Structure 1
Amino acid sequence: MKLLSKLLSISLLTALASFSLTASAEDYLVEVMFFGQPSAPLVQGTSPNPDWEAEAVDLEGTARPDVRAIDQTRYRLRNQARKLEQSGYQIYLHQAWSQPLENDLVVALHRGTAENGIYPVQGLVNLRQENLTEVKVAFWRNRSAAELQLQSATPLISEFLHQTRALRPGEVHYLDHQSLGMLVTISR
Protein backbone atom coordinates (compact mmCIF):
# COMPACT_ATOMS: atom_id res chain seq x y z
CA MET A 1 0.00 0.00 0.00
CA LYS A 2 2.83 2.41 0.85
CA LEU A 3 4.57 1.52 -2.40
CA LEU A 4 1.38 2.21 -4.37
CA SER A 5 0.97 5.55 -2.58
CA LYS A 6 4.57 6.52 -3.42
CA LEU A 7 4.12 5.48 -7.06
CA LEU A 8 0.92 7.52 -7.33
CA SER A 9 2.66 10.52 -5.76
CA ILE A 10 5.57 10.22 -8.17
CA SER A 11 3.17 9.85 -11.12
CA LEU A 12 1.21 12.90 -10.02
CA LEU A 13 4.39 15.00 -9.62
CA THR A 14 5.64 13.87 -13.03
CA ALA A 15 2.31 14.77 -14.62
CA LEU A 16 2.31 18.20 -12.97
CA ALA A 17 5.89 18.85 -14.05
CA SER A 18 5.16 17.89 -17.66
CA PHE A 19 2.02 20.07 -17.66
CA SER A 20 4.11 22.98 -16.37
CA LEU A 21 6.65 22.48 -19.17
CA THR A 22 3.89 22.18 -21.75
CA ALA A 23 2.24 25.39 -20.55
CA SER A 24 5.48 27.36 -20.82
CA ALA A 25 6.09 25.90 -24.30
CA GLU A 26 2.85 27.66 -25.33
CA ASP A 27 4.23 31.07 -24.35
CA TYR A 28 5.31 33.48 -27.05
CA LEU A 29 8.34 35.72 -26.98
CA VAL A 30 7.28 39.10 -28.40
CA GLU A 31 9.75 41.81 -29.32
CA VAL A 32 8.97 45.29 -30.63
CA MET A 33 11.16 48.18 -31.68
CA PHE A 34 9.45 51.55 -32.20
CA PHE A 35 11.48 54.23 -33.97
CA GLY A 36 11.39 57.54 -35.80
CA GLN A 37 12.39 57.91 -39.41
CA PRO A 38 15.10 60.47 -40.11
CA SER A 39 14.07 63.74 -41.73
CA ALA A 40 10.44 62.61 -42.02
CA PRO A 41 7.91 65.40 -41.64
CA LEU A 42 5.85 65.42 -38.46
CA VAL A 43 2.51 63.74 -39.11
CA GLN A 44 0.13 64.60 -36.31
CA GLY A 45 -2.22 61.80 -35.32
CA THR A 46 -4.82 61.00 -32.71
CA SER A 47 -3.66 61.68 -29.16
CA PRO A 48 -4.07 58.93 -26.56
CA ASN A 49 -6.74 59.11 -23.87
CA PRO A 50 -5.45 59.49 -20.30
CA ASP A 51 -6.91 56.01 -19.57
CA TRP A 52 -5.19 54.47 -22.62
CA GLU A 53 -3.92 51.46 -20.63
CA ALA A 54 -7.02 50.82 -18.49
CA GLU A 55 -7.75 47.41 -20.07
CA ALA A 56 -4.10 46.43 -20.55
CA VAL A 57 -1.40 44.68 -18.54
CA ASP A 58 1.41 47.16 -17.82
CA LEU A 59 4.60 45.21 -18.58
CA GLU A 60 6.62 47.15 -16.00
CA GLY A 61 4.14 46.78 -13.18
CA THR A 62 2.28 43.51 -13.72
CA ALA A 63 2.02 40.85 -11.08
CA ARG A 64 1.02 38.24 -13.68
CA PRO A 65 3.65 35.48 -13.66
CA ASP A 66 2.85 34.57 -17.28
CA VAL A 67 3.68 38.06 -18.65
CA ARG A 68 7.26 39.01 -17.94
CA ALA A 69 9.93 41.21 -19.45
CA ILE A 70 12.91 39.54 -21.10
CA ASP A 71 16.48 40.57 -20.35
CA GLN A 72 18.01 42.77 -23.07
CA THR A 73 20.78 40.22 -23.67
CA ARG A 74 18.10 37.94 -25.18
CA TYR A 75 16.74 40.51 -27.64
CA ARG A 76 16.74 39.25 -31.22
CA LEU A 77 16.53 42.67 -32.89
CA ARG A 78 19.77 44.09 -31.43
CA ASN A 79 21.59 44.05 -34.78
CA GLN A 80 18.68 45.77 -36.52
CA ALA A 81 18.60 48.39 -33.74
CA ARG A 82 22.31 49.10 -34.20
CA LYS A 83 21.93 49.41 -37.99
CA LEU A 84 18.95 51.74 -37.65
CA GLU A 85 20.81 53.99 -35.21
CA GLN A 86 23.85 54.07 -37.50
CA SER A 87 21.54 55.22 -40.31
CA GLY A 88 20.20 58.11 -38.22
CA TYR A 89 16.96 56.56 -36.96
CA GLN A 90 15.99 57.29 -33.37
CA ILE A 91 14.79 54.31 -31.36
CA TYR A 92 12.05 55.39 -28.97
CA LEU A 93 11.32 52.00 -27.41
CA HIS A 94 12.81 48.52 -27.69
CA GLN A 95 11.19 45.89 -25.49
CA ALA A 96 10.72 42.10 -25.35
CA TRP A 97 8.58 39.91 -23.13
CA SER A 98 7.01 36.49 -22.88
CA GLN A 99 3.27 35.96 -22.73
CA PRO A 100 0.61 33.35 -23.37
CA LEU A 101 -1.49 33.64 -26.51
CA GLU A 102 -4.77 35.08 -25.16
CA ASN A 103 -6.91 37.07 -27.57
CA ASP A 104 -8.00 39.49 -24.84
CA LEU A 105 -4.49 40.10 -23.45
CA VAL A 106 -3.20 43.58 -24.28
CA VAL A 107 0.29 44.55 -23.06
CA ALA A 108 1.05 48.22 -22.34
CA LEU A 109 4.57 49.61 -22.83
CA HIS A 110 5.88 53.10 -22.11
CA ARG A 111 9.03 55.20 -21.70
CA GLY A 112 9.65 58.45 -19.93
CA THR A 113 7.70 60.22 -17.21
CA ALA A 114 3.92 60.44 -17.47
CA GLU A 115 2.16 63.78 -17.40
CA ASN A 116 -1.60 63.48 -16.80
CA GLY A 117 -1.40 59.77 -17.68
CA ILE A 118 0.39 60.38 -20.99
CA TYR A 119 4.00 59.23 -21.56
CA PRO A 120 6.43 60.60 -24.17
CA VAL A 121 6.37 57.12 -25.76
CA GLN A 122 3.59 54.63 -25.11
CA GLY A 123 1.99 51.70 -26.85
CA LEU A 124 -0.35 48.74 -26.72
CA VAL A 125 0.32 45.29 -28.19
CA ASN A 126 -2.33 42.61 -28.65
CA LEU A 127 -1.19 39.21 -29.92
CA ARG A 128 -4.16 37.12 -31.04
CA GLN A 129 -5.01 33.98 -32.95
CA GLU A 130 -7.93 33.75 -35.35
CA ASN A 131 -7.02 31.85 -38.51
CA LEU A 132 -3.53 33.30 -38.36
CA THR A 133 -1.43 34.73 -35.55
CA GLU A 134 -1.89 38.49 -35.64
CA VAL A 135 -0.47 41.45 -33.80
CA LYS A 136 -2.42 44.63 -33.29
CA VAL A 137 -0.38 47.65 -32.20
CA ALA A 138 -1.21 51.22 -31.22
CA PHE A 139 1.87 53.35 -30.45
CA TRP A 140 2.20 57.06 -29.76
CA ARG A 141 5.07 59.50 -29.63
CA ASN A 142 3.84 62.47 -27.62
CA ARG A 143 5.51 65.86 -27.39
CA SER A 144 4.42 69.27 -26.27
CA ALA A 145 3.73 71.94 -28.87
CA ALA A 146 6.22 74.15 -27.00
CA GLU A 147 8.96 71.48 -27.33
CA LEU A 148 8.33 71.41 -31.09
CA GLN A 149 8.12 75.21 -31.22
CA LEU A 150 4.71 75.00 -32.84
CA GLN A 151 1.73 77.27 -32.47
CA SER A 152 -1.09 74.83 -31.78
CA ALA A 153 -4.55 74.88 -30.27
CA THR A 154 -3.65 71.67 -28.41
CA PRO A 155 -0.71 71.52 -26.01
CA LEU A 156 0.07 67.89 -26.97
CA ILE A 157 1.26 66.82 -30.41
CA SER A 158 1.05 63.06 -30.99
CA GLU A 159 2.30 60.88 -33.77
CA PHE A 160 0.31 57.65 -33.96
CA LEU A 161 1.10 54.27 -35.50
CA HIS A 162 -1.84 51.84 -35.50
CA GLN A 163 -1.82 48.59 -37.48
CA THR A 164 -2.87 44.96 -37.46
CA ARG A 165 -0.58 42.46 -39.14
CA ALA A 166 -0.51 38.70 -39.62
CA LEU A 167 2.76 37.28 -38.31
CA ARG A 168 4.78 34.15 -38.81
CA PRO A 169 6.88 33.08 -35.85
CA GLY A 170 10.59 33.71 -36.34
CA GLU A 171 10.16 36.40 -39.02
CA VAL A 172 10.81 40.12 -38.56
CA HIS A 173 7.88 42.28 -39.68
CA TYR A 174 8.12 45.97 -40.52
CA LEU A 175 5.18 48.25 -39.77
CA ASP A 176 5.38 51.53 -41.65
CA HIS A 177 4.05 55.01 -41.01
CA GLN A 178 4.97 58.32 -42.59
CA SER A 179 7.15 59.46 -39.69
CA LEU A 180 7.35 56.31 -37.54
CA GLY A 181 8.25 52.67 -37.96
CA MET A 182 8.19 49.47 -35.99
CA LEU A 183 9.84 46.08 -36.15
CA VAL A 184 7.97 43.16 -34.59
CA THR A 185 8.96 39.54 -34.17
CA ILE A 186 7.40 36.66 -32.29
CA SER A 187 8.69 33.19 -31.50
CA ARG A 188 7.67 30.23 -29.40
Structure 2
Amino acid sequence: MPRLLRPLLVALLLIAPTAFAEALYQVELIVFRQADKAVHASQPAPEDWAGNAAAIPAERERSPALTDTAAKLEGSQGYRVLLHKAWQQGVGTSPAPLRFATGKQSDGHFPVEGVLDLTQGRQLELNLQTWVNQFNGDGFLTSSERLQIQRRLIPGQLTYLDHPSLGALIRVSPL
Protein backbone atom coordinates (compact mmCIF):
# COMPACT_ATOMS: atom_id res chain seq x y z
CA MET A 1 0.00 0.00 0.00
CA PRO A 2 2.76 2.61 0.79
CA ARG A 3 4.18 2.00 -2.67
CA LEU A 4 0.90 3.22 -4.22
CA LEU A 5 0.80 6.33 -2.03
CA ARG A 6 4.24 7.60 -3.01
CA PRO A 7 3.30 8.71 -6.57
CA LEU A 8 0.14 10.34 -5.20
CA LEU A 9 2.11 12.19 -2.52
CA VAL A 10 4.68 13.39 -5.08
CA ALA A 11 1.90 14.60 -7.37
CA LEU A 12 0.25 16.51 -4.52
CA LEU A 13 3.54 18.15 -3.57
CA LEU A 14 4.06 19.32 -7.15
CA ILE A 15 0.54 20.71 -7.48
CA ALA A 16 0.18 22.26 -4.01
CA PRO A 17 2.71 25.13 -4.32
CA THR A 18 0.94 26.57 -7.36
CA ALA A 19 -2.46 26.17 -5.76
CA PHE A 20 -1.45 28.03 -2.62
CA ALA A 21 0.99 30.52 -4.17
CA GLU A 22 -1.66 33.12 -4.98
CA ALA A 23 -2.94 35.42 -2.23
CA LEU A 24 -5.93 37.74 -2.44
CA TYR A 25 -5.39 41.48 -1.94
CA GLN A 26 -7.58 44.58 -1.85
CA VAL A 27 -6.05 47.18 -4.21
CA GLU A 28 -7.03 50.84 -4.11
CA LEU A 29 -5.56 53.34 -6.56
CA ILE A 30 -5.93 57.12 -6.76
CA VAL A 31 -4.36 58.93 -9.72
CA PHE A 32 -4.29 62.72 -9.48
CA ARG A 33 -2.93 65.78 -11.21
CA GLN A 34 -0.51 67.70 -9.03
CA ALA A 35 0.56 70.51 -11.34
CA ASP A 36 -1.28 73.04 -13.44
CA LYS A 37 0.80 72.26 -16.50
CA ALA A 38 0.87 68.76 -17.96
CA VAL A 39 4.21 67.11 -18.75
CA HIS A 40 3.43 65.20 -21.93
CA ALA A 41 5.24 62.03 -22.93
CA SER A 42 7.26 62.12 -26.14
CA GLN A 43 4.62 59.91 -27.75
CA PRO A 44 0.92 59.39 -27.05
CA ALA A 45 -0.25 56.18 -25.39
CA PRO A 46 0.33 53.20 -27.72
CA GLU A 47 -2.59 51.62 -29.53
CA ASP A 48 -2.07 48.39 -27.57
CA TRP A 49 -1.70 50.21 -24.24
CA ALA A 50 -3.23 47.27 -22.32
CA GLY A 51 -1.09 44.59 -23.99
CA ASN A 52 -2.18 41.20 -22.65
CA ALA A 53 -3.55 42.63 -19.39
CA ALA A 54 -6.96 41.32 -18.38
CA ALA A 55 -9.81 43.65 -17.44
CA ILE A 56 -10.77 43.86 -13.78
CA PRO A 57 -13.77 41.51 -13.45
CA ALA A 58 -16.92 43.35 -12.36
CA GLU A 59 -17.39 40.97 -9.42
CA ARG A 60 -13.91 41.94 -8.12
CA GLU A 61 -14.58 45.70 -8.13
CA ARG A 62 -15.06 47.23 -4.67
CA SER A 63 -16.16 50.54 -3.21
CA PRO A 64 -13.14 52.74 -2.49
CA ALA A 65 -12.26 53.18 1.19
CA LEU A 66 -9.91 56.15 0.76
CA THR A 67 -12.72 58.60 -0.02
CA ASP A 68 -11.56 61.03 2.71
CA THR A 69 -8.04 61.05 1.25
CA ALA A 70 -9.40 61.68 -2.26
CA ALA A 71 -11.61 64.49 -0.93
CA LYS A 72 -8.59 66.13 0.78
CA LEU A 73 -6.70 66.01 -2.52
CA GLU A 74 -9.63 67.57 -4.37
CA GLY A 75 -9.84 70.30 -1.71
CA SER A 76 -6.12 71.10 -1.92
CA GLN A 77 -4.84 73.89 -4.13
CA GLY A 78 -3.64 72.54 -7.50
CA TYR A 79 -4.68 68.88 -7.09
CA ARG A 80 -7.38 67.09 -9.05
CA VAL A 81 -8.34 63.41 -8.72
CA LEU A 82 -8.46 61.78 -12.16
CA LEU A 83 -9.14 58.16 -11.18
CA HIS A 84 -10.17 56.44 -7.96
CA LYS A 85 -10.78 52.69 -8.11
CA ALA A 86 -10.69 49.71 -5.78
CA TRP A 87 -10.76 46.00 -6.53
CA GLN A 88 -9.70 42.57 -5.29
CA GLN A 89 -6.75 40.98 -7.05
CA GLY A 90 -5.04 37.65 -6.77
CA VAL A 91 -1.28 38.03 -6.48
CA GLY A 92 1.19 35.23 -7.10
CA THR A 93 4.77 34.73 -8.18
CA SER A 94 3.95 35.03 -11.90
CA PRO A 95 2.90 38.33 -13.51
CA ALA A 96 -0.86 38.71 -14.02
CA PRO A 97 -1.39 42.33 -15.10
CA LEU A 98 -4.81 43.97 -14.89
CA ARG A 99 -5.95 46.95 -16.96
CA PHE A 100 -8.03 49.81 -15.61
CA ALA A 101 -9.62 52.86 -17.20
CA THR A 102 -12.08 55.60 -16.50
CA GLY A 103 -14.13 57.95 -18.66
CA LYS A 104 -15.62 57.62 -22.11
CA GLN A 105 -13.60 55.66 -24.67
CA SER A 106 -12.57 57.56 -27.80
CA ASP A 107 -10.15 56.54 -30.56
CA GLY A 108 -9.43 53.28 -28.69
CA HIS A 109 -8.34 55.13 -25.55
CA PHE A 110 -9.82 56.43 -22.31
CA PRO A 111 -9.09 59.76 -20.56
CA VAL A 112 -7.20 57.75 -17.90
CA GLU A 113 -6.01 54.21 -18.62
CA GLY A 114 -3.36 51.94 -17.27
CA VAL A 115 -1.96 48.55 -16.37
CA LEU A 116 -1.14 47.40 -12.86
CA ASP A 117 0.84 44.28 -12.13
CA LEU A 118 1.58 42.91 -8.67
CA THR A 119 3.84 39.95 -7.99
CA GLN A 120 4.68 38.32 -4.70
CA GLY A 121 8.19 37.06 -4.16
CA ARG A 122 10.09 37.80 -1.02
CA GLN A 123 8.36 41.20 -1.19
CA LEU A 124 5.31 42.65 -2.92
CA GLU A 125 6.41 44.16 -6.26
CA LEU A 126 4.38 46.79 -8.14
CA ASN A 127 4.68 47.64 -11.82
CA LEU A 128 2.32 50.49 -12.79
CA GLN A 129 1.87 52.26 -16.11
CA THR A 130 -0.76 54.96 -16.37
CA TRP A 131 -1.60 57.30 -19.23
CA VAL A 132 -3.63 60.48 -18.90
CA ASN A 133 -4.79 61.30 -22.42
CA GLN A 134 -5.95 64.44 -24.18
CA PHE A 135 -8.20 64.34 -27.23
CA ASN A 136 -8.93 66.91 -29.94
CA GLY A 137 -12.44 68.12 -30.85
CA ASP A 138 -12.93 65.15 -33.19
CA GLY A 139 -12.14 62.66 -30.42
CA PHE A 140 -8.68 61.67 -31.65
CA LEU A 141 -5.82 61.17 -29.21
CA THR A 142 -3.40 64.11 -29.41
CA SER A 143 -1.10 63.70 -26.40
CA SER A 144 -0.56 61.69 -23.24
CA GLU A 145 1.10 61.98 -19.88
CA ARG A 146 2.72 58.79 -18.67
CA LEU A 147 3.31 57.68 -15.10
CA GLN A 148 5.49 54.57 -14.98
CA ILE A 149 6.61 53.19 -11.62
CA GLN A 150 8.25 50.01 -10.37
CA ARG A 151 8.31 49.81 -6.59
CA ARG A 152 8.29 47.44 -3.66
CA LEU A 153 5.24 47.86 -1.47
CA ILE A 154 4.54 47.17 2.16
CA PRO A 155 1.14 45.45 2.37
CA GLY A 156 -1.50 47.64 4.01
CA GLN A 157 0.56 50.84 3.78
CA LEU A 158 -0.57 53.84 1.71
CA THR A 159 2.23 54.58 -0.78
CA TYR A 160 2.79 57.79 -2.75
CA LEU A 161 4.06 57.47 -6.34
CA ASP A 162 5.58 60.64 -7.78
CA HIS A 163 5.74 62.20 -11.25
CA PRO A 164 6.36 65.83 -12.32
CA SER A 165 2.70 66.53 -13.14
CA LEU A 166 0.87 63.42 -11.93
CA GLY A 167 0.85 61.48 -8.72
CA ALA A 168 -0.71 58.29 -7.42
CA LEU A 169 -1.61 56.84 -4.08
CA ILE A 170 -1.90 53.08 -3.76
CA ARG A 171 -2.74 50.76 -0.92
CA VAL A 172 -2.54 46.99 -1.32
CA SER A 173 -3.93 45.15 1.71
CA PRO A 174 -4.07 41.38 2.22
CA LEU A 175 -7.54 39.88 2.62
- TM-score with structure 2 length normalisation? 0.78
Residues 31-180 of structure 1: pairs in structure 2 closer than 5 A: 31-39=28-36, 41-45=37-41, 46-59=43-56, 62=57, 68-70=60-62, 72=63, 75-88=64-77, 89-102=79-92, 103-144=94-135, 156-180=142-166
Identity among equivalent pairs (%): 32
Runs of at least 4 residues of structure 1 off by over 6 A? none
C-alpha distance in 1, partners of 2:23/2:65?
A: 19
Tell me the secondary structure at the aligned position of residue 91 of structure 2: coil
Q: CA RMSD in A?
A: 2.4
- Is the Cα–Cα contact under 8 Å of residues 42 and 179 in structure 1 kept in the other structure? yes
Higher strand share: 2
- Is the Cα–Cα contact under 8 Å of residues 50 and 116 in structure 1 kept in the other structure? no
Q: Which amino acid aligns with 2:118?
A: L
Q: Which runs of 5+ in 2 are unaligned?
A: 1-18
Deviation string, structure 1 residues 143-171 (Cα, Å, up to 9, x no partner): 03569xxxxxx951101000011111111
Q: Which runs of 5+ in 1 are unaligned?
A: 1-21, 148-153
Indicate the structure (1 or 2) with the bigger Cα radius of gyration.
1
- TM-score with structure 1 length normalisation? 0.73
C-alpha distance in 2, partners of 1:85/1:106?
A: 29
Tell me the secondary structure at the aligned position of residue 164 of structure 2: coil
C-alpha distance in 2, partners of 1:186/1:54?
A: 23
